[in-house]
Amino acid sequence: MKRIEVLYGGGKYTIPNRDIADVQKEITDALMSGSPHWLEANSGEGILEPAYLLIASGITVAVVDVMATVTSD
């Protein structure tokens, strides 16, 4: 299972089933286009709700590959 965590506006959001490189490319492409872009993510724990994060110049966003730190024993 793949999952990316997004830190945005003081909150944590998740994007399931995507690679970090794919999410980074979507964000980079949005910034390079010069037009605002809405990144789809999930909000909450347990019952997830759709969240749409505005990607535009001057807005801080961080992506974390949380599955990269999960190890199987």
pLDDT per residue as tens digits for the range 35-72: 999 999 999 887 889 999 999 999 999 999 987 765 55
**Domains in the chain, number:** 1
pLDDT score recorded for residue 72 = 53
Partner residues linked to 12 by β-bridges: 7
pLDDT score recorded for residue 47 = 84
Q: Reduced to 3 states, what is the DSSP secondary structure of residue 73?
A: coil
pLDDT score recorded for residue 24 = 96
The overall pTM is greater than 0.75: yes
Tell me the backbone φ, ψ of residue 35, rounded to 5 degrees: -110, 145
- Domain holding 9, by residue range, is 3-69
Q: pLDDT (tens digit, 9 = 90+) per residue, 13-30?
A: 999 999 999 999 999 999
Q: pLDDT-derived band of residue 2, with 50, 70 and 90 as boundaries?
A: confident
